[in-house]
Each structure stands twice: as C-alpha cells, then as structure tokens.
Structure 1
Amino acid sequence: AGRHLGQPFECEGWWQAAGGRRRIRIRGRSAGPGDLGMLGLVWNVTREHAFQVRLTQSEKLESLGRMAGGLAHDFNNHLAVLVGNLELLDAAVGREPGVRRRLDTIDRTITAATALVRSLLTFARRRTVEMESIRPTELLDELHEMLASLLGRQIRVVRDAGDAALVVDASREQLQNALLNLCVNARDAMPDGGELTLGAAAVAIACEHCRICGEEVTGSFVAISVRDSGAGIPLALQERIFEPFFTTKAEGQGTGLGLAAVAGCVTSHQGHLLLDSTPGGGSCFRILLPFTQGAVGDCSSGAGSGAATAVGRKAIVASA
C-alpha cells in the first residue's frame, strides 16, 4: 500500500551555505501524521529574489524621484527670487555691520538650500554628477573633522589608518553625504554613547550579500566602512532599512530617507553595500567601489592643506 503523505506546504527564506548566503524556496509535503520529516524539493531562487528586490526598489525610487524633481523645480524658483532680492539689498545697505551680519546669515542659508535642491535633482535623475578621482582616506579625514559637532561628546570617533594610495572615481558631494547619513544612523543607534570607526581599505570579497541589488558579490574593491558599537539591527529589518520612508524612529524624529539616499549613491557609483549587524553587537556598513585603474598619480597629496585636493581626471556622467 502507498504511504499517506501529510499536508502540502511552501516556504521561502535565507539559507547560510558554505559558499555564501542563498535564497531558497521549499515546496513539498510533511511525511505523514506523527512524522517529523518531509518530502519535497528545494530551489535556489537567489537571482529571482534579487531581480524582484531591484524591480520593487526601482518602482519606489521612480515615484519618489518624480515627486522630488517637481519639488526641487518649484523650490528653485523661490530661491531665485530670494537671491535676486538679496543682491539688491546688498547693494543698498553698504557696509553697516549689524545688517551685514544678517545678510550674510541669509546668504549662507540660501547656499545650504541650493545644495539641497542639487541633491533633490540628483535623486530625481535630472542633474549630471561630476565624478573625480578621490582618495577615500582624505575624504574620511574631512568627515572626521565634521563629526565632532554632529555626534556630540558621548561618541568617540576612531579613524583606521587606511591605505592612502587607494583611489576611486566618485562624486565627492554624493559620497560625503552618504557617509554622513551612515554616521547619523550610527549616532542614533548609540543614544548612550559609544564608538564610531571609519575606515578605507582594499578588500577581496567572496560571495557576500549586497543589500542594494540583492546579489552575491565577489571580487576586489575599495571598501569604505562605518562601524558602530550600538544596538545592532534585527535581522527582520535588515532587508527593509534602505526602502524610502521606512524608519523605526518615533514620529517626527526621522524621514526614512537617509539610508535610501545612501542606496542611491551606491547605485549611481556602480558599487555595492554590505551590512554586518547583530542585535547588541553593533553594525558595520561597507560601501564597495571599483578601483580606479592607474589613477594613483593623478591625485594631489594634499600636503599642507586642511582640505583634500583630489583633482585628478574628471568626467561628467548621468546619475543612475
């Protein structure tokens, strides 16, 4: 007599194999009443899952991009009015100290707002991005100086020495904003203080999961890392934190766009993003960028200057 099988079932999830993490789908039946076994088939659906993740993310970003582009256009029109009137006031006021300070404050605010418009237009894919040869270690040095006031005294910032010879082709503005967003995210994960570590190194990656494209990554890259000693990210949330408007913060304390902007930056640079995080064990975000071939000699060393010079070869490319 044939053996009676139990109820059919189907499930999907991640499986940690020796060669890396795989997305698998299991379809079958339980072995029978009272049995703990099962009979069925297992499919490797890693590529299918990665494609679906990219498609869903693309649709969300496309909608958000259209909204951002319209907002930036209207906001830019208002800024043009402010700039024109500020120039007229500047000519009329002369050098009166009290008024001059207020005008300077307005001017700085308009400059910051203009940078915001540029970011929105880049996000909406309506603005070209200037790529240049950049030394990641110099970029992290600049970031280190900025973080003192941003993070507060409870958080200690550590700079790994890194390899000063490493060079990548990148948008300085986009990459710096992405790293700032990761640092702010790290700060929020350490409300009682902790340690934030910044680093840049050449790495060889073997079958690690990219949190942006969903594929397994293998190869040699320049890795720029932001590591914190905070609470860590629950596994159930790690696949969602890069979605636009997704946030675990209380209402009014976060927009849910910071990590989405990081994802957009990584994608536009044809890079990858790795995340290592365990609850209670902190988090490490690593941005992987392709090496710039033969560009080491193109960058200035920046000696004697507080700012990175990195003025090597440049190219204008469309934002992805």
Structure 2
Amino acid sequence: MAAVEYPTFTFETTAEEVADAFAEQIRGKNVLITGTSVNGIGNETARVIAKYANLVILTGHNEERLKLAEEAIKGSLPTANTRTLIIDLSSLASVRKAAAEASAYPEPIHVLIHNAAAGLTPFTLTVDGYEAQMATGHLASFLLTKLLAPKLLAAKTAEFTPRVVWVSSSIHVLESVNFELLKTPDATKYTPIMAYAHVKSATVLTAGELGRRSKGAILGYTVHPGVISTNINQAKDAIPVLQAVGVLDAEGKPDSTNYKWKTIPQGAATTVAAAFDPRISATPGAYLDDSKVAEAAAHSTDPATAAKLWTATEEIVGEKFEF
C-alpha cells in the first residue's frame, strides 16, 4: 500500500486546508477546545474540525458568548455536532466542576486543545490568589488536563494516541518560567508582556513533560499561531501594551511594516496541524510554527526545568498526575 502524501504547509495555509488534508484523522474524533469566542482563532479551529469530527465540545465562561460561538459554527456548518460546556479558567473550582461534567460524557476525548488565554491584562489576582495570566494559561490548563486524562486515555487505540495541544507563542523565547512569581505573585515585578512570556514558556515545558510522564500514552504539543488581530489583542487593556512593543501603531492598528500578520483562518491552521498531523507523532512535545515542527527556546525545552515546573504545579493545584 502506497504511503499517503500530505501537503507541505506554509505561512499562508488556512485551518480549513489543514483540516481537509487530515480529514481521515479527524473523522470520528471527539475534541474539547477552550476559548471559542467569535472573532478568535479558537472558534475557527473548532469550526474546521467540526467538518469531520464526531463531536466538538466548545467551552467558555460566558453563557451568552458561548451560545454565539456555537451559533456561528452551526451557521457556517449546519451539520456540525457541537456541545457547550461552561468553564471559568480563572477559578480552579470552576475547572473542577467543568471537568466533572465532561468526565460524565459517554464519549472519550481524543484531543484536548487549550486555546484560551487571559490576554495582556494589568496585574490581577484570581479568586484563588494567583496571577490571572498564569492561572488561566497554565494552572487551569494543567488541572483540566489532569482531570480529563482518564477520558483521553480511554480514546487510545493501537492506531491512535490522544493529544493535548496548547496555543503558545513565539514570545516564549523572552524568558522562562519565574518560579517565585508562579507561587507568590508580586505586582511590583509584573509587566503584562513578561507575564505572557512566562505563561507561554510554561506551556512548552508542560507539553514536553506530559509525553515523558505518560510514557507516550498522551502526546503534548504547543503552537505559535502567528501575529493575528483577534478579540484578545483588540481588548482595551491590551492596546497600550501592544503599542508599547510596536505590534500596534499609534492609532491602535496592526503594524504591517515590522510584523507580518496572519488572518484568523491562517492563525488557526497550526493548532489543527498539532492536533491531527500524523507526521509529528514521532516528535512528542514538539513546538509548531506555520503548521510544521519548529525550534523552541532552550529554556522551554529543558527536561529538568519541565520536571520542576510539573512538580510545582501539582503542589499548587493539589492534584498529582498518575498514569
């Protein structure tokens, strides 16, 4: 039998093109994705996967926005089989409640996609006392992965290994995780950009460690979606931060001189590739850019740092992974 030839993806590749290429890998799968609001890459990711998947579970903390997200997908794709799940990632209690609900679903979960992020917010503490970006982007995603691990493992077959995908960012190269601030947030040491970098480094470290800890039973991946104009970087608090680093110009519009911007369909492409491209099964923990494996910063791929972060996060969330 001849080997299947898959396309080579580029900067311009769209999520729909990736989904079409991996239609057979997506067919029959159940996928849970966080952060699916309209005008975000999560919604587009969910939409294109829903073309072929058995079930796509959409999550969000606001019931009205979650309903709009589902309506947008079904308006474009009436045959989509979707289910909504309320989850507030700034609250560990809410994560536990949502995980319990999802764990009661009759279906296994083949792919878990951590797309949600807090955005470039001013210093804020969550109800649990942790910095909001780290709590949403790392602590909540770690806890949700832990609690849904049995559902993921139930999807494993001889032909398929479940995957967990984190939407990271190339900004992870700026700095590794600050362990002091992870446990004890400090407003005097906080800047939105560096907090964002800490979180994105944490995702790369966690993805690699997931594969090692599970001995390959669950594969973890991270992606750089690109520079994209979405609802997160159009938020009021984010605009001055992005202006300060030059991503947005003085009028708050995308700087196309120094940055090459992707559309939302292009920005969602790499997530779909990380979730379903069979070619990356041999590289667990890989970091992807432009829908293919790329090189992550050394501080975010160091196994010793990853193990330290894993243990520290288990202590914070009060849950120990057991495979």
TM-score band (shorter)?
under 0.3
Choose 1 or 2 for highest CA Rg: 1
Bigger relative CO (Cα 8 Å, ≥ 6 apart): 2
Query: Which TM-score applies when normalising by structure 2?
Result: 0.22
TM-score for the superposition, normalised by structure 1: 0.22
